[in-house]
Amino acid sequence: MTIGIRAPNQIAPGIFDRERIIAKAGFNRWHVPPAALCIHLCIGMAYGFSVFWKPLEGVLVGADGKALPSCSEGATTFSEKAAGTAKALFATDCNWSQFDLGWMYTFFFVMLGVSAAIWGAWLERAGPRRAGTVAAICWSGGLLISALGVYLHQLWLLWLGSGIIGGIGLGLGYISPVSTLIKWFPDRRGMATGMAIMGFGGGAMIGSPLATFLMNQFKTPADPGVAATFVALAVIYAVFMGLGASGYRLPPDGWKPEGWKPPDTSNAMITSKHVHLKNAHKTPQFWLLWTVLCMNVSACIGIIGAASPMLQETFGGMLASAPELGYLDVQKDPALLASAAAVGAGFVGLISLFNIFGRFAWATSSDKLGRKLTYCIFFVLGGALYVLASVAADWKAMALFVAAICIIASMYGGGFATIPAYLADVFGTQFVGAIHGRLLTAWSTAGIVGPVIVNYLHDTRAASGIPPDKIYGEIFYILAGLLVIGFIANLLVRPVNPKWHMSDTEVAAERAKLSHSASTPSGTGSFGIGKGGLDLKGIGLWLLVGLPLAWGVWNTVARALTLF
């Protein structure tokens, strides 16, 4: 190990500079995952933003105390709804519809992929602390702008604040820990990324009940309390994300866990070389993995988004202890409808649990199974489960149907958590964060493709007179077809052609660009870093993220119990 001495005329690194967060001897690598979870548990609230839709739809009331109609009231065609949304952007005399507000959800995931692709390379240069801080500013700042939008009743401010600016925060916050954790855990790549990305799936479990609680505290007869809730959440998330960003550390160049040996080079799917960011998208492997992620997400996200109505339409009165009644009959009885809706909400909660813990379980398993085999399981098992779900719907076997969809949800989450490690295996770790950022455009694409397939087929089949309990059978087979495409793409993944590998000199030059300080340790070995297990500080950090997550799980389990 060699340690250089900073020249007197060198400027000390700032608190956000990359070289400021190079770990020193005695640092425990297990302190880094809680920092990543601090950020992911906050931005994961994007999944739970629909909790604001109903309160925002009735924010304007007339003299009679009743909610004013929406700007698209009476619209039946897409063009009429679009015209109503265009009016709603600036109008202050009509309410917003779910169609108007739902575009924020679309902006979230489109901007997540776009921002991750655009600023992924900057993140690698700037380091995770600076990127995490910018993510906190964008996410919390977007909520403050949205609060102003609610106060002024300007829909465009909500789109701009949470949808676009917040979406940029989503992208930077999502990818900021990926390459960091992969570098800290070369021996457990899947487990490391699974821990962080599990937090993104769990954010809504904490954020949704928290937002509901805050709205109940702030609401008045004339105000649903959404604006004040946005402000409160902005402060809470700024604190937690700031703590997460400050907790990031990077290992010195050449660091490796004490006693760990790199994987056997006979496993051709795990490279010890690196592919430059500028060349990654030129390889067929990048686009095959792009297709793998896109198909896995497309086949699942539409169903997850329609989970509650799907269960109610398919099983009707069975959800309200009246199996002889169909979905349309249940809709006519408020008591039965409320009972069925409660079971539907429990189903959504159960899917959330499988989505979250699937991220950790599948990604961790991939360390043993291998990334390619893990995705083969996703596609083969997922296709079979969609067929099973279709059969279970025909048989009215609700337990079998619920089990099939929940396992599919676990593989949806597992796909997100496994793909960063897959990329590191194929392209190396030098630019994995930036490459992952570009690959997330597959998520943006799937976020449009999946829901469009499910919602379009649902509406057209319903309009053609197909009974509600028969609507989803054919849709499941189409989604299984998407998984077949993903399966083929995954089979075609091969090691990258050596012509794309960087030489040792090129890698050293890239690392030198990132290490502006001569005081950064270099060489090989553990440097006395990463030793030890769960120390007192680690216990505190894990409690900081573990207690809110446990609270969210408890709330979700309580809702899911209505299924039984």
Residues 95 and 31 in one domain: yes
pLDDT at 257 over 90: no
pLDDT band for position 524 (50/70/90)? low
Enter the DSSP assignment of 220.
B
Q: Count of CB atoms within 10 A of residue 151's CB?
A: 16
For residue 102, being part of any structural domain is answered with yes
For residue 401, being part of any structural domain is answered with yes
Whole-Å CA distances, 96 to 67, 147, 439: 11, 15, 34
Give the model confidence (pLDDT) of 470-481 as tens digits: 999 999 999 999
Angle at which helix 334-369 crosses helix 189-218, to 10 degrees, equals 160
Whole-Å CA distances, 324 to 232, 320, 330, 336: 47, 10, 10, 13
What's the number of domains the chain is made of?
2
- Arithmetic mean of pLDDT over the chain: 88
Helix boundaries (H) for 247-321? 277-280, 284-305, 307-315
For residue 465, being part of any structural domain is answered with yes
Which amino acid is it at 220? Answer: T
Of the listed ranges 344-358, 432-446, 455-469, 523-537, the one predicted with least confidence: 523-537
Q: Is 296 left (phi over 0), alpha (psi -120 to 50) or beta?
A: alpha
For residue 226, being part of any structural domain is answered with yes
Beta strands in 396-506 (DSSP E): none
Residues 121 and 46 in one domain: yes
């007197």: which residue's tokens? 8
Chosen domain end from 478, 498, 518 = 498
The whole domain housing 304 covers 288-498
Q: What is the pTM of this model?
A: 0.86
CA distance 80 to 97: 13
Residues 316 and 370 in one domain: yes
Higher pLDDT, 541 or 196: 541
pLDDT at 256 over 90: no
pLDDT at 10 over 50: no
For residue 44, being part of any structural domain is answered with yes
pLDDT at 157 over 60: yes
Residues 218 and 300 in one domain: no
Rounded mean pLDDT of 155-180? 92
**What pLDDT sits at residue 263?**
64
pLDDT band for position 517 (50/70/90)? very low
pLDDT band for position 427 (50/70/90)? very high
Angle CA(474)–CA(479)–CA(483) in degrees, nearest 5?
145
For residue 529, being part of any structural domain is answered with no
Output the six-digit token pair for 454. Answer: 């499910």
**What pLDDT sits at residue 221?**
84
pLDDT at 61 over 90: no
**What pLDDT sits at residue 254?**
82
Provide the β-strand partners of residue 233.
Answer: none
Chosen domain end from 232, 255, 278 = 255
Give the model confidence (pLDDT) of 280-327 as tens digits: 999 999 999 999 999 999 999 888 878 888 999 999 989 888 888 888
Residues 134 and 220 in one domain: yes
